[in-house]
Structure 1
């Protein structure tokens, strides 16, 4: 009897990619700038776990002797533990390699299914379909409660909502998360690190996460797209 490999608790970057997945079309929202956004999620996860800190001139550095336990996050920590880097530099360095391993984890968890297809009866390809776990719906409900219903978020949900806003894809969620001025205002507050009293995270973690999110905003809206 064979057993499935054990998977640790989902990382923030997995949650974000799962949210960006659009079940109706089988596509990922914001593909053109996706690597910036996924890189930002990894940095935010490191910050929330206190594996990342800021140094002079707003650069970030891996906290010496405190690597993250998850293999998906460790390469970024190793890169940043070598020497402090600017956030934009870090996003460009760690982001491009993330899509495939993160998607593979979501498939392994059953959050997303891969369906083999043939195009024109000749070419083999793969379509993405919604998985069986309903985890995407739960994540979306958590974000909606914060952005629409005014709920005080936990730190992880606050960071997830802030990154979703930073990605520029929130208008595509209009059916589930109404695209209103109140929603936009709350999303921008979260981007700035205004998470509320219930978001139990150290001040330095909030500061680093806000810096990362703002760098993602700049990357998505200003820098050339791949």
Structure 2
């Protein structure tokens, strides 16, 4: 399996994101406290790529709303559930992220186990308490995906809008330092991640304006929500 195979016939963006956020040894996610925002954002970006959501900018960024567009069934139950939730009524992006992103981690881990990208290990802590971990397998898909994301952050233009959207989501979630292998960290890498959050993807990653707009709005909402959560816990 290679990163080029993902999409409607392979992994969703949200599955790629979950795989990147999962610790290779334990499967514990980076950024767990605000994970629902990041995972919900990945579903929104995928729906935008499919032409099924549209952003409507309000007077304040936080009040930007999304509405469902198009018709017909979607290729994956997770996408369909997210679309149906958005279709109920136009809502602020921050509200949508919470609605569609909550409770996603466990189903995503199950999917990744089924795909052979994570394994499930049961053991007992101190020989008494049952525990379950989900370490990475030796499938080459994840290392190739991580290397691809790192190369984009280090300056290479993404070949497709899916990778661009993934980079934007990772940057907005504040989990860039958890990537392995880590990109050659510098102010340039940080700034490049912020460019992707704004929908500035370079010449190769061509996509409809609605996709860029939705990604920018989503990334902005994720970053704002995480900043607010971080401030509240201090």
Q: Post-superposition shift, 1:56?
A: 5.8
Structure 1: where are the runs of 5+ without partners? 1-6
User: Shift of residue 24 of structure 1?
Assistant: 3.9
Residues 169-224 of structure 1 deviation map (CA, whole Å, 9 limit, x = unaligned): 11233752122111011111000000011112101111111111111111111135
Determine if contact 1:158/1:195 at 8 Å carries over to the other structure.
Answer: yes
Deviation at 1:66? Answer: 4.1
For 1:146 and 1:56, the matched residues in 2 are separated by: 28
The answer to whether the Cα contact below 8 Å between 1:60 and 1:86 also exists between their aligned partners in 2 is: yes
Name which of structure 1's ranges 170-179 and 89-98 shifts more when overlaid on structure 2.
170-179
Q: Give the corresponding residue for 2:175.
A: 169
Q: List structure 1 segments (4+ residues) > 6 angstroms apart after TM superposition.
A: none
Alignment-derived partner of residue 28 in structure 1: 29
Asked if structure 2 preserves the Cα contact closer than 8 Å seen for 1:153 and 1:195, the reply is no
CA contact (8 A) 2:146 2:179 kept: no
Change (3 A) 1:104 1:178: same
Does structure 1 conserve the Cα–Cα contact (< 8 Å) formed by 2:51 and 2:70? no
Alpha-carbon offset, residue 51 of structure 1: 1.1
Alignment of 1:59-208 (within 5 A): 59-173=65-179, 175-208=181-214
Alpha-carbon distance, 1:25 to partner: 4.8
In the alignment, is the contact (CA less than 8 A) between 1:170 and 1:179 conserved in 2? no
C-alpha distance in structure 1 between counterparts of 2:46 and 2:223, whole Å: 17
Cα distance in 2 for partners of 1:37, 1:92 equals: 9
Bigger mean CA deviation after superposition, 210-219 or 64-73: 64-73
The residue that corresponds to 2:38 in the other structure is: 37
SS across alignment from 1:39: helix
Give me the TM-score of the superposition, normalised by structure 1. 0.90
RMSD: 1.8
- Paired with 1:14 and 1:220, the residues of 2 have a C-alpha distance of 21
Query: Which residues of structure 2 form unaligned runs of 5+?
Result: 1-7, 59-63
Checking the alignment, whether the CA contact within 8 Å between 2:157 and 2:201 is kept in structure 1 is: no
Query: How many pairs does the alignment contain?
Result: 219
* Greater Cα offset, 215-224 or 200-209: 215-224
